Copies of this chain bind each other. A is one copy, B any other.
């Protein structure tokens, strides 16, 4: 079934495998008139590019993006924006061995059982490189949101047991440490933790948090197309994500109504103010005007070089040690992917929510 498209009004279609010719995306439904060149996209890809610190895979890829369609004289035309990144540094021979067995924690077995065979080179379609397309599309979405004044702040909240401290929270340092943590001290502790994992031939996971500022209220739909539900799907569709929570999330299950409710007051300017934000900016699936806050749990990289038991395609039990170039922790590179999927979702729901009232529709039609 066709599972590589996401979104209704703003629709993103990704394609490509880890060791194929390239990776790409088609962004359809971008409104016309947005200034857009490769210079808007490349910084996003650079945030997820491998080889940027000793905590990421040593595979070297420039991941240089090219826009193939959808813009004219520097502006989007309203037609599909096709973008491509060619794969340069494939070393397929690294993977010839893994053709024959299933790596624990990877999708090798499930692809084989679903499709009867698989492109085993670097994980094929299940590789993290698929997120290049999402990230390029996310850059477009972020630029649209930026035109509306909406800002996304995304960072690593924790690596393994090391968490950012609210007391040290400083957005300015996010881009100054290899973990994209808003807390320099936590970043140093995270480095020590990951070093220890690497020494043990092991890997680490973590939690990513995203805060969306300046959101208008009224975005999101009742019932199945709740903004929270779509953010959840978007984030849970990223390979290594195993959990999603919004606002107080799992903690709210232990709270009481009294402590979990956000009471309202009248602001000086006459607008309505929430006195807290346990809801994470969404009530009944619809944005409530507060910051939207959500978190994603990212599992540790399954590629570890310690010995593991597994089976071959023909069913023999063996013991393996995963070789090749792998990230000891994928969380930092996933930060921009989480931001991208959130931006794509918001853009899509903004476009869908424009005409929830007759007066909006009439104003549009008469303009």
Across-interface contacts of A285 in B (CB, < 8 A): 107, 237, 239
Copies of this chain, whole number = 4
Question: Residue A315 at the B interface, CB < 8 A?
Answer: yes
Indicate whether A362 sits within 8 Å of B69 (C-beta atoms), given known contacts A5-B28, A26-B13, A105-B279.
no
Kindly list chain B residues whose C-beta atoms are within 8 Å of the C-beta of A69. Answer: 15-17, 20-24
- How many whole Å from A75's CB to the nearest CB in chain B? 7
How many residues of A are in contact with the other chain, CB < 8 A? 168
User: Which 7 interchain pairs have the tightest Cβ spacing?
Assistant: A107-B284, A3-B221, A3-B225, A243-B245, A2-B29, A203-B257, A233-B233
Contacts of A264 in B (CB 8 A): 102, 104, 109, 309-311, 317
The answer on a CB contact under 8 Å between A300 and B77 is no
Contact B233 A242 (CB under 8 A): no
* Complex CA distance for A293 and B360, rounded to whole angstroms: 27
Asked if A358 contacts B224 (CB within 8 A), the reply is no
Give the CA-CA distance A353 to B205 in the complex, in Å: 31
User: Which residues from B are CB-within-8-Å of A234?
Assistant: 229
- Name A317-367 residues within 8 Å CB distance of B: 317, 350-362, 364-367
Question: Does residue A144 face the partner (Cβ distance < 8 Å to B)?
Answer: yes
| Chain B residue contacts of A81, Cβ below 8 A | 15
Q: Does A177 contact B (CB under 8 A)?
A: no
The CA of A17 and the CA of B78, in the complex, are separated in Å by 12
B1, B109, B201, B262: the one within 8 Å of A353 (CB): B1
Q: Which of B31, B111, B225, B258 contacts A306 (CB 8 A)?
A: B258
A93 on the B face (CB < 8 A): no
A79 at interface, CB cutoff 8 A: yes
Closest Cβ of chain B: how far from A18's Cβ, in Å?
11
CB-nearest residue of chain B to A23? B69
| Nearest CB of B to A362, in Å | 6
Using A242-B252, A257-B304 as known contacts, say yes or no to A218 and B265 having CB atoms under 8 A apart: no
Give 16 CB contacts A-B under 8 Å.
A3-B224, A4-B223, A15-B70, A17-B72, A20-B68, A79-B222, A104-B264, A105-B262, A107-B283, A110-B287, A111-B284, A160-B253, A242-B250, A263-B310, A265-B309, A351-B361
